[in-house]
Structures are given as structure tokens and as C-alpha cells.
Amino acid sequence: MNQKWFLRKHEDGSTFGPVQFEQITRWAAAAQVAPHDTLSSDGQTWTKAPMLPQLGMDWLVELTSEHYYGPTTLGALREFIRLGEIDGEAVVINTCDGIRRQIREMPDLWETAQSGADENQFQIQLDDPVGPGVAKMSVRLQERIRDLEQTLQEERRALADSQKRYDDLERKYQDLLLRDLS
């Protein structure tokens, strides 16, 4: 991990680096590395960030019973709490052991995030390279999912209506052909 690394943001393709892997680790802990971001040590071969165990991206946030955000780091969870994107009722899953728990059941995480006690833990150093912005777990994600599901239902209805009209026209066409042949 001593070589220089690059971070490519999934949302806009921007690339950060080259930096030491330790810097990438700090970015991940500060919620600056999102689950779909990729990393490379050579600028050619890219790996999704959660695939590197050294980043500790071991947590999923349950948005609904079928939708999740992550995997992400404990530091990112702290940042999401601080930003108000998740609260104590949010359910998280440790991907290493499969245990589900509410954020408030994790006092080290919940209480330090609420009190801001670890605010200086990831303090920017003067010589730190400019990094990506904080990844946001959009609270509007659930609304977006509902909108997409509704759009999908509407498209399926439109497709079914079109298929019915097509079948009706096909029958009329066949009837006309039979009548002309008779």
C-alpha cells in the first residue's frame, strides 16, 4: 500500500490523487468515499472502494426493507448522523458478521456523533491534498425510489395498453385478409 493511489468519484468521474493510501483511508473515514467510487494504484485498473478491506467499509444503512446505502465506514455513519441524514432509529448492518442494529444501540457511534466529540479526529492537515466532498446519502433517495417505482408501473400500464391495441389491430387485419380471400 506504499504506492500512490487514485480515487475516482462515481457520480461525476472526477479523479483525486495520486496520494498515499493512508490519505484514501482518511477520506473514507470522513465520508468522502462513496460505495460506488473506485480506486486504482496505477490509474488503469480500478476497484470499487468497498472491495479494499483496509478502508473498513463494512456497514450498510437500511433505507427500506429492500433498499440499502453502503457499504460505508463508521466515520461516514458519524458524518451522516451529524448532517441529520440518519438518526438513532436508522438500522445498520455489519457486513462482516451480519448483525443488524439501530444506530442508538451503538453508543460509541451514536453518542460521539451527537456530541461532536470526535470532530477533530479527521482534522485536515495543511499538507493534505484537496480531496472529494463529503458523500451524501440522500434522504430523498426513498422518494426517488418511490417515483421510479411509480413511473415503472405507469410504463407497464402503457405497454399493456399498447399491446392490447396492437392485438386488436392484428385481429382486424386478419379478419380483413380472410374476408378478401373469400
Span 90-112, pLDDT tens digits: 999 999 999 999 999 998 888 77
Cell digits for 106? Answer: 451503538
Measured at the CA of 38, the angle between CA 32 and CA 42, to 5 degrees, comes to 115
CA separation for the pair 130, 43 (Å, rounded):
18
Residues 6+ apart with CB under 8 A from 72: 31, 34, 35, 57, 59, 60, 61, 135, 137
What pLDDT sits at residue 83? 85
Q: What pLDDT does 128 receive?
A: 56
Instruction: Choose the most confident range, by mean pLDDT, from 47-56, 108-117, 129-138, 144-153.
Output: 47-56
Residue 126: per-residue pLDDT: 45
What average pLDDT does this structure show over 14-33? 92
Q: Enumerate residues 6+ apart whose C-beta is below 8 A from 89.
A: 102, 103, 104
Closest CA to 67 of 9, 134, 148: 148
User: What percent of the chain is modeled with pLDDT above 90?
Assistant: 52
Q: Give the mean pLDDT of the chain.
A: 84
Nearest to 24 by CA among 141, 120, 122: 122
Residues 57 and 68 sit within 8 Å (Cβ to Cβ): no
Please state, in angstroms and rounded to a whole number, the distance separating the CA atoms of residues 78 and 112.
8
Per-residue pLDDT averaged across 101-129, rounded?
67
Domain ranges of the chain: 4-125, 140-182
Q: Is the pLDDT of residue 163 over 90?
A: yes
Residues near 86 by Cβ (< 8 Å), separated by ≥ 6? 61, 77, 80, 103, 137
pLDDT band at 124 (very low <50, low <70, confident <90, very high): very low
Cell of 83: 448532517
Mean pLDDT of 167-171: 95
> Does 13 score more than 60 pLDDT?
yes
Does the pLDDT at position 43 exceed 60? yes
Distance CA 76, CA 165 (A): 52
Question: Average pLDDT, stretch 46-70?
Answer: 91
Higher pLDDT, 47 or 129: 47
Inter-residue contact 69 to 141 (CB < 8 Å):
yes
pLDDT score at 111 = 78
Q: In the predicted model, what is the mean pLDDT of residues 165-176? A: 94
How many CB atoms within 10 Å of residue 59?
22
Residues constituting the chain: 182
